[in-house]
Amino acid sequence: MALGGNPRILLVRESLVSGVVGIAFLFSLLRERPLVFYLARATIARERGGDAGRFEALWRERPGLRTSLRLMTLAWGMGLTADTLLRCWLAWRWPIERCLVVLPLISYSIYVGLMLWTFWFRGKLRKREGARDGLTGQGSDGTPMHGG
């Protein structure tokens, strides 16, 4: 409502939130721990029942893990920001009727692409890092852990 009732603004208002989130991801790269670190730590804690401390240790011990989480943060930041910029540009260039059909398809494609890439990349990371540190569903003593 604060942005007014312009139909073109209405076409992009939802994507403005994802754009802000994308920019937050990108700015978090300037910090010691990017946003994906916190999301990954919360996921590990939920899946492993409080194994967040182990994840903190891995963050300190493994430069490859830090690099991978920064890459994930960059990918999501760029993807969400690009979605917003593309939707805004098209909303002002295309007829509104075409935007109503095409813009959601563009956003869904970007989100699905980011999620599929994330699942693939997370699996790759688990194989690389997890075999020696418990991220593949095994504890440090080799016993199976649930949720992995």
pLDDT digits (tens, 9 = 90+) for 64-87: 889 999 999 999 999 999 999 999
Tell me if residue 138 falls in helix, strand or coil: strand
pLDDT of residue 129: 66
Residue 12 or 94, more confident: 94
What pTM does this model have? Answer: 0.79
Give the highest mean pLDDT range of 22-26, 39-43, 141-145: 22-26
CA angle at 141 for the pair 137 and 146, rounded to the nearest 5°: 25
* Residue-wise pLDDT tens digits, 85-142: 999 999 999 999 999 999 999 999 999 999 999 999 988 887 876 665 554 444 443 3
Residue 16 or 1, more confident: 16
Q: Cβ neighbours of residue 129 under 8 Å, at least 6 residues apart?
A: 58, 62, 64, 65, 68, 135
Residue 133 or 11, more confident: 11
Residue 13 or 137, more confident: 13
Distance CA 71, CA 79 (A): 12
* 124: enclosing H helix or E strand: helix 96-130
pLDDT of residue 81: 97
Q: In terms of C-beta density within 10 A (0-12 exposed, 13-18 middle, 19 or more buried), how is residue 39 classed?
A: middle
pLDDT of residue 132: 56
